């Protein structure tokens, strides 16, 4: 029996009033996500083609693209976007696979999971600042080794951070994307009988890592494909991490677009729009190439499986996976610790490992502002996440009850807000907010955040939701429960963990938003992120440290709930906790 048949049966037997509204939920969800993107893209495409009457652009032509290509940094900026995006995504995915393949089901895996999961909540900007301070020539690593080992009395003149190849930026992205992909993989692993499969394969003589890669990875990858694409699109077009860790001569294309957008010479708006369109094209092309690589990997993988080797180098692979996981958690953990120390630092001479003096002045001075920004952040993130969760659950349930089987095209609709680079539709969103009279308010910001929060919530939740074994529903129906009762008493409790994880992801996504908050909020809506980035221009690590910590805390709490609550609630239900 298929999911669709069961769902269709459920829908026809109970024609309640509420159920007649339910079929519209997917459409409403798609509208909430895509209408702003469509308007935003229009607001970008038209100026790219020369149409922006307020700035005297009335003609249609390709002048803006000619100007874009004439910019001497264009080839390098575009190449950087591709190389950093691909490297960050491939390395992150490989590390996650290694960790899961080598250690799933062991005590070390539980440890790695506990160490990495909270890092997901660390906002990108905070993580990037932390890592920059760790690896910079004047950073903690250099301080720890100086002068006794290196002989450095002063920081060496080495180009480590903001290197022209974007290596520091790739490292920063990997450190942030590994926890994200790992959590997505964990949600998916709960739906695949990976433990048993690996055990069977091991009984047939396969090494642990080989068994996982051959049997579990193909099943899991299907479920984490959407997050992987999101990571690729995000890494290719990220702005804040690129500003902090990426090169500047020239910067990546997205960063340059943002710079052109804020250039006082308004003529650059056209060029910025053209750059945004080029960035969009790059991301689409990047995804196409990735898809081709998937096919190639699948072919190679099948041949590998058919050859029937039992695997070698298992110990080395396992060690590498564990080492990488520890390195990632150390990088972010120490980075955040560094920011914490900076937030209370007095003067701090190189190469001292700790500040010369400590002071609470930064916290005392900025405490009230941090509190008010924090409450604004929580209100916005809470509202956006609640709406996103409600729409997502309604859509998925409608899909289930009415047999609305998601087509491939519908899936791609969901990708759009994650694939379209933020820079590509922000000016358009601003115009939209203005023309609907929502300009400058918290409501407009919440709706703008919803565009980014919804896809993440949907992506996190839809796979485990759809992979839920519908026979549970059949059994419950056979025992006399209606579809509502099945939803509330069986499905939601069983899926509590993925639901909470999805909410936490949505919350963290909202907390980290900078450009949408600034532009749609007309600068009037001050969240921890907008404040931190504004202060980052000042470069004072003490204040950045204080804000970054507050920002991290705001994003962290929901994750703590997502991890702890199911354990607490289902402590008497071994199968539901699946830790």
Partner 1 sequence: MMVSPMKTLLAATLLLLAGPLPAAAQAAPDPADWDGVLREARGQTVYWNAWGGSSQVNEHIEWAAREVHERFGVTVEHVKLADTADAVSRVIAEKAAGQDQDGAVDLVWINGENFAAMKEQDLLFGPWAEALPNWRYVDVEGKPAVTADFTVPTEGLEAPWGMAQVVFYYDTARVEDPPRTFGGILDWAKANPGRFTYPQPPDFLGSTFLKQALIGLAPDPSVLSGPVGEANYEKVTAPLWAFMEELTPVLWRSGRAYPQSGPRQVQLMADGEIDMAISFNPNEASAAIANSELPETVRTFVLDGGTIGNASFLAIPYNASAKAGAMVVANFLMSPEAQARKQDPTRWGNGTVLALDKLSPEDRARFDALELGVATLSPEELGATLPEPHPSWMVRLEEDWVARFGVAE
Footprint of partner 1 on this chain (CB under 8 A)?
52-55, 72-73, 76, 137-138, 154-155, 157, 159, 161-164, 243, 247-250, 259, 261-266, 269, 345-350, 357, 359, 365-366, 427, 430-431, 434-435, 439-440, 518-519, 522-524, 526, 530-531, 533-543
Q: How far is the CB of 318 from partner 1 (least distance, A)?
A: 38
Q: Which is nearer to partner 1, 162 or 395 (CB)?
A: 162
- State the minimum distance, in angstroms, from the CB of residue 434 to partner 1: 4
| Least gap, CB of 201 to partner 1 (angstroms) | 49
CB of 60 to partner 1, least distance (A): 17
Nearer to partner 1 by Cβ, of 63 and 369: the residue is 369
Residue 21 CA to residue 19 CA, distance in Å, equals 5
161 close to 361: Cβ distance less than 8 angstroms: no
**Least distance in angstroms from the C-beta of 537 to partner 1:** 4
In terms of CB distance, is 365 or 571 closer to partner 1?
365
Cβ closest to partner 1, residue 196 vs residue 357: 357
Region class of 407: left (phi > 0), else alpha (psi between -120 and 50), else beta = beta
Q: What is the nearest approach in angstroms of partner 1 to the Cβ of residue 375?
A: 16
CB 60 within 8 A of CB 442: no
Closer by beta carbon to partner 1, 364 or else 568: 364
Q: Is the dihedral of CA 58, 62, 66, 69 positive or negative?
A: positive
Q: Are 256 and 77 in contact (CB under 8 A)?
A: yes
Residue 534, token pair as written in the block: 């504004």
Nearer to partner 1, 496 or 522 (CB): 522
What dihedral do alpha carbons 428, 432, 433, 435 form, nearest 10°? Answer: 140
Report which DSSP code applies to 348. Answer: -
Paired residues of 57 in beta bridges = 52
| Beta-carbon count within 10 A of 194 CB | 23
Q: Report the DSSP beta bridge partners of residue 60.
A: none
CA dihedral sign of residues 473, 459, 92, 332: negative
Whether 559 and 508 have beta carbons less than 8 Å apart is answered as yes
Q: Return the number of the residue (194 or 430) whose C-beta is nearest partner 1.
A: 430
To partner 1, the closest distance from the beta carbon of 334 in angstroms equals 18
Cα separation of 432 and 426, whole Å?
10
Minimum CB separation from partner 1 for residue 72, in Å? 5
Report how far residue 160's alpha carbon sits from residue 134's, in angstroms, rounded to the nearest whole number. 11
Q: Which is nearer to partner 1, 361 or 472 (CB)?
A: 361
Give the DSSP H/E element, type plus range, for residue 261.
helix 253-261
Cβ distance to partner 1 smaller for residue 61 or 523: 523
- Least distance (Å) from partner 1 to the CB of residue 535? 6
């Amino acid at each position: 029996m298929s999911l669709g048949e069961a769902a269709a049966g459920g829908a026809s037997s109970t024609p309640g009033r509420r159920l007649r509204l339910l079929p519209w939920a997917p459409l409403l969800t798609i509208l909430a996500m895509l209408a702003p993107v469509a308007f935003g893209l229009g607001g970008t495409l038209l100026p790219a083609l020369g149409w922006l009457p307020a700035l005297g652009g009335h003609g249609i032509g390709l002048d803006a693209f000619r100007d874009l290509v004439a910019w001497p940094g264009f080839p390098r900026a575009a190449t950087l976007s591709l190389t950093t995006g691909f490297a960050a995504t491939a390395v992150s995915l490989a590390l996650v696979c290694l960790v899961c393949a080598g250690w799933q089901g062991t005590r070390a895996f539980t440890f790695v999971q506990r160490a990495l999961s909270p890092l997901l909540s660390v906002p990108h900007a905070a993580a990037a600042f932390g890592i920059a301070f760790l690896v910079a020539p004047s950073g903690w690593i250099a301080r720890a080794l100086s002068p006794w080992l290196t002989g450095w009395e002063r920081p060496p003149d080495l180009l480590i951070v903001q290197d022209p190849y974007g290596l520091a930026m790739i490292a920063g992205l990997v450190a942030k994307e590994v926890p994200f992909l790992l959590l997505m993989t964990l949600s998916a692993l709960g739906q695949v009988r990976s433990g048993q499969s690996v055990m069977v394969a091991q009984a047939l003589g396969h090494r642990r890592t080989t068994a996982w890669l051959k049997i579990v990875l193909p099943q899991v990858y299907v479920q984490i494909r959407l997050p992987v694409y999101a990571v690729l699109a995000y890494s290719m077009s990220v702005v804040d991490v690129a500003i902090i860790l990426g090169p500047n001569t020239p910067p990546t294309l997205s960063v340059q677009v943002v710079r052109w957008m804020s250039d006082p010479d308004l003529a650059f708006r056209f060029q910025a729009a053209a750059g945004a369109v080029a960035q969009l094209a790059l991301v689409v092309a990047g995804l196409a190439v990735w898809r081709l690589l998937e096919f190639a990997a699948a072919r190679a993988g099948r041949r590998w499986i058919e050859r029937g080797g039992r695997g070698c180098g298992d110990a080395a692979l396992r060690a590498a996976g564990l080492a990488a996981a520890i390195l990632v958690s150390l990088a972010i953990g120490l980075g955040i610790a560094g920011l914490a120390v900076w937030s209370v630092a007095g003067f701090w001479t190189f190469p001292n490992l700790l500040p010369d003096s400590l002071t609470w002045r930064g916290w005392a001075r900025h405490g009230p502002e941090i509190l008010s920004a924090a409450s604004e952040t929580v209100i916005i993130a809470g509202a956006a996440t609640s709406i996103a969760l409600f729409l997502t659950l309604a859509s998925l349930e409608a899909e289930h009850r009415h047999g609305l089987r998601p087509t491939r095209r519908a899936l791609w609709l969901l990708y759009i807000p994650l694939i379209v680079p933020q820079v590509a539709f922000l000016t358009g969103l601003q115009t939209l907010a203005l023309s609907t009279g929502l300009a400058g308010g918290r409501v407009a910001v919440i709706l703008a955040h919803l565009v980014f929060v919804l896809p993440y919530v949907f992506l996190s939740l839809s796979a485990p939701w759809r992979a839920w074994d519908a026979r549970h529903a059949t059994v419950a129906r056979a025992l006399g429960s209606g579809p509502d009762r099945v939803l509330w008493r069986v499905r939601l409790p069983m899926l509590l963990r993925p639901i909470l994880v999805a909410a936490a992801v949505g919350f963290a996504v909202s907390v980290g938003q900078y450009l949408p908050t600034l532009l749609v909020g007309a600068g009037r809506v001050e969240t921890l992120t907008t404040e931190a980035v504004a202060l980052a221009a000042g470069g004072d690590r003490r204040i950045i440290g204080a804000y970054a910590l507050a920002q991290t805390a705001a994003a962290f709490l929901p994750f703590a709930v997502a991890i702890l609550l199911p354990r607490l609630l289902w402590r008497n239900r071994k199968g539901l906790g699946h830790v």
